[in-house]
Amino acid sequence: MQLTLGPVLYHWSPERWRDFYYRMADEAQIDVVVVGETVCSKRAPFKQDYLPAVIERLEGAGKRVLHASLILVSLPRERRQTRELMQVAEAEVEINDLTCLASLGERPFAVGPFVNVYNEAAAGFLAARGATRICLPPELPLPAVAAIAAAVPQLAIEVFAFGKVPLAISARCYHARAHRLTKDNCRFVCENDPDGMSVKTLDGAGFLSVNGVQTLSDSCASLLCDLPALGRAGVASLRLSPQCCDMVAVARLFRDVVDERIDPREAEGRLGEIYPEVPFSNGFLHGAPGHNRIDAGGGRPGELR
Amino acid sequence: MELICPAGTPASLEAAVEAGADAVYCGFRDETNARNFPGLNFSREELRKSIAFAHRRGVKVLVAINTFARAGSFGLWQAAIDDAVAAGADALILADLATLDYAARHHPAQRLHVSVQAGAANPDAIRFYVESFGARRVVLPRVLNVAEIASIVRESACETEVFVFGGLCVMEEGRCSLSSYATGKSPNMNGVCSPASHVAYAEREGQIVSTLGGFTINSFGKDESAGYPTLCKGRFVTPKSSGYIFEEPVSLDAAVMLPALRDAGVTAFKIEGRQRGRAYIAEVVRSFRRILAEIDQGRSAPPAGLAAMAEGQASTVGAYRKSWR
Amino acid sequence: MPEPETTGSRVTPPRLPQWLSRAMEPLPLAPLQPVLALMLARIGRAHPDLYDRLGEHAEKRFGLDPTDLPFSFVLEPRPGRPLVRAVRVLPGGLDASIRGPLAGLIGMAEGTLDGDALFFSRVLWVEGDVAASLALRNAIDDARIDFGKVLLGGLGPVGARLAEVARARMRTLPGVGGQPWN
């Protein structure tokens, strides 16, 4: 089982972003690293200058680097950026929108979790077009994951295993809206919330987080307790999505559970120390509401035995 | 300019035809369509009869099979496609690569429309659907302004259809799991958003409180207009603001944008609302028929005057005007 | 927060005059029951498709509460053995209840008023199982029952008067109701 570090979804300062990747390159036991701005095209220029050095450091440390495309492509500038990315011959891309297929040509590619692959036929279609790996949409339940992995064995199937779950993308910027700014004049207020801006219900219950035009969950996905079942389902890779916590430690914990050096439940306890005060969830994988945390045995904790 | 109207039941389909629809869209009574609501939609027999009725009146019927097929159960979606073709559907509205690929291979003569759920938001994405599946029309997501639509039309080798009235998704369609995060049921997989089965209303301190899957979504004063209990139109709290942080309970009314959308080269105007009653269908369709006739005669587009039909009794032109963003 | 660009006037619920409600208060409900049962059986036979649309919700117990009448109805659609009865106060243990002025309930049932629009304007309100209420609304909307006639015709002279008043009030409503929006 491989570990993939997903792209940083938040607007981190360029230096923080660079240093994060340097550390991951040097210290984390990660097989694949996805880089690039996927959420907001306005943020991309900030990272551009550091990108070559980050890639060099990651590749130098033996990591396979994938270049992620934008999730929602509507402006001419975004189309151009996407097309250019697809035509960089030496870069292996992870597509987050089918827009990419129009300019990708015959090259092999990876598919990110924002492309709607819900079944084996869609996965097979993309495999025939040159897809080599697919990170499935986070809302897919385990039987669907297993059916896809079994039907298209030539694909490396990945699931979203750690991080606040990306739930929606919009043309409207909710960070700007909350600050009473327009999207065009947003002053990049999203940089103030490197782990997302919390959205609570009127009762004060944690519910969602806002990351510019993207909406994520308040809870953090953790499939630690589900790793044995994912292995049986033929999953080839686990995606860890960067949050404001020690991602090297997160990766080590997942690696240890995959290699059966540590019990999954004990690991989840430790995960709570690495990323404290954030509830964990795995409901989607169990066909339940995504925010639920369900014991790997099938029932909720407490219902079991 | 075609007027595309919703129908959740055969009675609504007839109401839409009577009110002047050029085409009616509808779906089967199962999870193959994105309005899989209790008591709605068509049996195979109802669809056959309704298509025959519409065709006698010169009206087209477009069948929406626009959810994403469940892995391991693709047969249900294949059967829906085969049966819709056999029933004489004028077009199929599809979103999933799997259903598009199947329909294009097995029914090459069938007209295919790319559903709004596919989220094809630019000419490159549209080109992919045209080249891969021979798509003849794309329903554009509700995230584009008129200038962007005009540029898409100029560059695209297929027709375009845009929503002009009704429910307004503020997130890009087909890429939203907010509903399943709260309830386990999603538009993509189950054809429902914020399903009624997970909604509850309670009275608390003189306010009506709506909850979805246990999360409080809104709290209304006694005399305040209500909306659907959808997540993206609820009241929430952030460190910077509280209230309708995504969107107010409001629905789309782009009647005043019709001339601009026509000039942009849009082929068809679509009314949302397969979940609504006959009264809504009849009134909204009649109203838009009248507005289109006025525009045809060179008069300016009057507002639809349908605010009473709207969610929260309020309407917006949404993303068609750039300031919405 | 930016405000929506247009806001319509609210739908004003047409309500029966209070004298009528008061006049009906002392009336016994017992004579109503067989009439209601007969009407329901007739509807069930004439519109078998109703049950396909109701699906699992056909077995549920619905409360229909015309807020401007001194009594309410309990409806159990159950295929083959439907049940409806008039009650002074809705009992506990119902799966769902729909409340609103009689004209609103009838207009929705007949398809002349849109249920969602009535809900948005807070004329109608739903409690309990929202999915069951929706299924019932959609099934009835498709069946095109002349509900006012069936329901109120059975009430004798008072019913006829009620129907007349309700209709007269509804006629003042353009589409969903209320004053013209502008």
Asked if B139 and B80 sit in the same domain, the reply is yes
> What is the mean pLDDT of the segment spanning A85-101?
92
> What is the mean pLDDT of the segment spanning A139-162?
98
Contacts of C2 in chain B (CB under 8 A): 323
Asked if B66 and B154 sit in the same domain, the reply is yes
Last residue of a domain, one of B226, B243, B260: B243
Which B residues 90-109 touch A at CB under 8 Å? 95-98, 101-102
Give the distance, in angstroms, between the CA of residue B298 and the centroid of all CA atoms in the same chain: 28
Asked if B198 and B308 sit in the same domain, the reply is no
CA pair distance A143, A155, nearest whole angstrom: 17
Is there a contact between C182 and B11 if contact means CB atoms under 8 Å apart?
no
| Least confident range of A60-69, A231-240, C46-55, C150-159 | C150-159
| Least confident range of A198-202, B206-210, C91-95 | B206-210
* Nearest Cβ partner for C142 among B11, B253, B317: B11
Torsion of CA B26, A120, B139, B148, to 10 degrees: 160
Residue B185 in any domain: the answer is yes
CB atoms closer than 10 angstroms to residue C68: 20
CATH number of the domain encompassing residue B44: 3.20.20.70
Query: Taking 60 as the threshold, does the pLDDT of residue C76 lie above it?
Result: yes
Q: What pLDDT, on the 0 to 100 scale, is given for residue C4?
A: 40
Query: Taking 80 as the threshold, does the pLDDT of residue A203 lie above it?
Result: yes
- Find, in chain B, the residue whose alpha carbon is nearest to that of C132: B38
Using a CB–CB cutoff of 8 Å, tell me whether A195 touches chain B. no
Query: Taking 90 as the threshold, does the pLDDT of residue C138 lie above it?
Result: yes
Query: Taking 60 as the threshold, does the pLDDT of residue A198 lie above it?
Result: yes
> What DSSP string describes B131-155?
HHH---EEEPPTT--HHHHHHHHHH
A294, A282 contact by CB (below 8 A): yes
* Nearest Cβ partner for B308 among C117, C131, C134: C117
Query: Taking 50 as the threshold, does the pLDDT of residue C175 lie above it?
Result: no
- Position of tokens 């097309």? A83
What confidence tens digit (pLDDT) does each residue in B15-33 have? 999 999 999 999 999 999 9
Query: Taking 70 as the threshold, does the pLDDT of residue A248 lie above it?
Result: yes
* Nearest Cβ partner for B312 among C57, C120, C130: C120
- Give the three-state DSSP class for C143: helix
Task: Give all chains having 3 or more CB-to-CB distances under 8 Å with chain A.
Answer: B
Is there a contact between C131 and B315 if contact means CB atoms under 8 Å apart?
no
Query: Taking 80 as the threshold, does the pLDDT of residue C3 lie above it?
Result: no
> Which helix (H) or strand (E) covers residue C49, if one does?
helix C49-54
The domains of chain C are located at 18-171
- Position of tokens 């059986």? C41
Asked if B208 and B262 sit in the same domain, the reply is no
What confidence tens digit (pLDDT) does each residue in B259-292 have? 999 999 999 999 999 999 999 999 999 999 999 9
Pick the CATH number of C18-171 from 3.50.50.60, 3.40.50.1010, 1.10.10.10, 3.30.1050.10: 3.30.1050.10
Asked if B114 and B19 sit in the same domain, the reply is yes
Query: Taking 80 as the threshold, does the pLDDT of residue B322 lie above it?
Result: no
- Position of tokens 């249920």? C115
How far is C62 from chain B, CA to nearest CA, in Å? 15
> What is the mean pLDDT of the segment spanning A132-142?
98
> What is the mean pLDDT of the segment spanning B78-106?
98
| Least confident range of A182-186, A216-220, A279-283 | A182-186
Q: Is the dihedral of CA B166, B172, B178, B181 positive or negative?
A: positive
Distances in Å between the Cα of C39 and the Cα atoms of A18, C45, C88 are 75, 10, 20
Query: Taking 90 as the threshold, does the pLDDT of residue A48 lie above it?
Result: yes
Contacts of A147 in chain B (CB under 8 A): 71-72
> What is the mean pLDDT of the segment spanning B200-214?
91
Q: Comparing A257 with C152, which gets the higher pLDDT?
A: A257
What confidence tens digit (pLDDT) does each residue in B51-89 have? 999 999 999 999 999 999 999 999 999 999 999 999 999
Distances in Å between the Cα of A35 and the Cα atoms of A41, A248, A292, B15, B218 are 14, 16, 29, 53, 38
A229 phi and psi angles, rounded to 5 deg: -65, -35
* Nearest Cβ partner for A121 among B74, B123, B216: B74
What is the number of residues in chain B? 325
Asked if B307 and B230 sit in the same domain, the reply is no
- Position of tokens 């073709």? B85
> What is the mean pLDDT of the segment spanning C145-159?
63
ipTM metric? 0.95
Apex C109 CA angle, B201 and B59, nearest 5 = 110
| First-last CA distance in chain C | 24
Helices and strands of chain A, counted as H and E runs: 11, 12
| Least confident range of A6-20, A239-253, B195-209 | B195-209
CA pair distance A279, C128, nearest whole angstrom: 30
Asked if B73 and B141 sit in the same domain, the reply is yes
What confidence tens digit (pLDDT) does each residue in C110-131 have? 888 888 888 888 888 899 999 9
State chain A's maximal CA–CA distance in angstroms. 57
Give the distance, in angstroms, between the CA of residue B277 and the centroid of all CA atoms in the same chain: 15
Last residue of a domain, one of B208, B243, B278: B243
Query: Taking 50 as the threshold, does the pLDDT of residue A185 lie above it?
Result: yes
Is there a contact between B181 and A165 if contact means CB atoms under 8 Å apart?
yes
Domain count, chain B: 2
Q: What pLDDT, on the 0 to 100 scale, is given for residue A305?
A: 25
Where residue B206 falls among pLDDT bands split at 50, 70, 90? Answer: confident
> Which helix (H) or strand (E) covers residue B325, if one does?
none
Is there a contact between A200 and B237 if contact means CB atoms under 8 Å apart?
yes
Contacts of A118 in chain B (CB under 8 A): 68-71, 96, 98, 188-189
> What is the mean pLDDT of the segment spanning A121-147?
98
> What DSSP string describes A222-246?
E-GGGHHHHHHTT--EEEE---SS-
| Least confident range of A198-212, C15-29, C147-161 | C147-161
What is the number of residues in chain A? 305
> What is the mean pLDDT of the segment spanning C157-162?
66
Please classify residue A90 by burial: count the beta carbons closer than 10 Å to its beta carbon, then call 0-12 exposed, 13-18 middle and 19+ buried. Answer: exposed
Task: Give the CA count within 13 Å in the CB-facing half-sphere of B23.
Answer: 22
Is there a contact between B279 and C114 if contact means CB atoms under 8 Å apart?
yes
CA pair distance B155, B150, nearest whole angstrom: 9
CA pair distance A206, A189, nearest whole angstrom: 21
With a threshold of 0.90, does the pTM exceed it? Answer: yes
* Nearest Cβ partner for B71 among A118, A184, A289: A118
- Position of tokens 């080839």? A236
* Nearest Cβ partner for C4 among B37, B223, B314: B314
Using a CB–CB cutoff of 8 Å, tell me whether B189 touches chain A. yes
Where residue A88 falls among pLDDT bands split at 50, 70, 90? Answer: confident
Where residue C26 falls among pLDDT bands split at 50, 70, 90? Answer: confident
Query: Taking 70 as the threshold, does the pLDDT of residue C6 lie above it?
Result: no
B308, B243 contact by CB (below 8 A): no
A93, A75 contact by CB (below 8 A): no
Asked if B23 and B101 sit in the same domain, the reply is yes
Which of B124, B152, B193, B242 has the highest number of chain A CBs within 10 A, making it the mutation to test binding with A?
B124
Is there a contact between B308 and C144 if contact means CB atoms under 8 Å apart?
no
Q: What pLDDT, on the 0 to 100 scale, is given for residue A300?
A: 43
CA pair distance B140, B172, nearest whole angstrom: 10
Contacts of A172 (CB under 8 A, 6+ apart): A183, A213, B143, B170, B246, B247, B319, B324, B325
Helices and strands of chain C, counted as H and E runs: 8, 6
Is there a contact between C114 and B283 if contact means CB atoms under 8 Å apart?
yes
What is the number of residues in chain C? 182
Asked if B210 and B306 sit in the same domain, the reply is no
Q: What pLDDT, on the 0 to 100 scale, is given for residue C9?
A: 45
Residue type at position C132: A
Q: What pLDDT, on the 0 to 100 scale, is given for residue C171?
A: 52
> What is the mean pLDDT of the segment spanning A182-190?
94
Where residue C36 falls among pLDDT bands split at 50, 70, 90? Answer: confident
Residue type at position B307: A
A12, A20 contact by CB (below 8 A): yes
- Give the three-state DSSP class for C113: coil
B168, B250 contact by CB (below 8 A): yes
C144, C115 contact by CB (below 8 A): no
Q: What pLDDT, on the 0 to 100 scale, is given for residue B316?
A: 87
Q: What percent of chain C has pLDDT over 70?
A: 73
Last residue of a domain, one of B188, B214, B243: B243
Structural domains in chain A, CATH included, are 2-166+218-280 (3.20.20.70)
> What is the mean pLDDT of the segment spanning B217-234?
88
| Structural domain span for residue B237 | 178-243
Where residue C42 falls among pLDDT bands split at 50, 70, 90? Answer: confident
> What is the mean pLDDT of the segment spanning A230-241?
97
Within chain B, residue ranges assigned H as helices are: 10-19, 44-56, 74-86, 97-106, 123-133, 146-155, 178-183, 187-190, 258-263, 278-296
Asked if B210 and B161 sit in the same domain, the reply is no
Asked if B74 and B135 sit in the same domain, the reply is yes
Distances in Å between the Cα of B90 and the Cα atoms of A63, B103, B110, B111, B265 are 51, 13, 8, 7, 22
Is there a contact between C6 and B315 if contact means CB atoms under 8 Å apart?
yes
CB atoms closer than 10 angstroms to residue B95: 29
> Which helix (H) or strand (E) covers residue A176, if one does?
helix A174-178
Asked if B15 and B80 sit in the same domain, the reply is yes
Residue type at position A48: Q
Where residue C109 falls among pLDDT bands split at 50, 70, 90? Answer: confident
CA pair distance A61, A51, nearest whole angstrom: 15
Contacts of A201 (CB under 8 A, 6+ apart): A207, B215, B216, B217, B236, B237
Using a CB–CB cutoff of 8 Å, tell me whether B176 touches chain A. yes
Q: What pLDDT, on the 0 to 100 scale, is given for residue C174?
A: 43
Where residue B325 falls among pLDDT bands split at 50, 70, 90? Answer: confident
Query: Taking 60 as the threshold, does the pLDDT of residue A118 lie above it?
Result: yes
Please classify residue A150 by burial: count the beta carbons closer than 10 Å to its beta carbon, then call 0-12 exposed, 13-18 middle and 19+ buried. Answer: middle
CA pair distance B250, C3, nearest whole angstrom: 10
How far is C161 from chain B, CA to nearest CA, in Å? 25
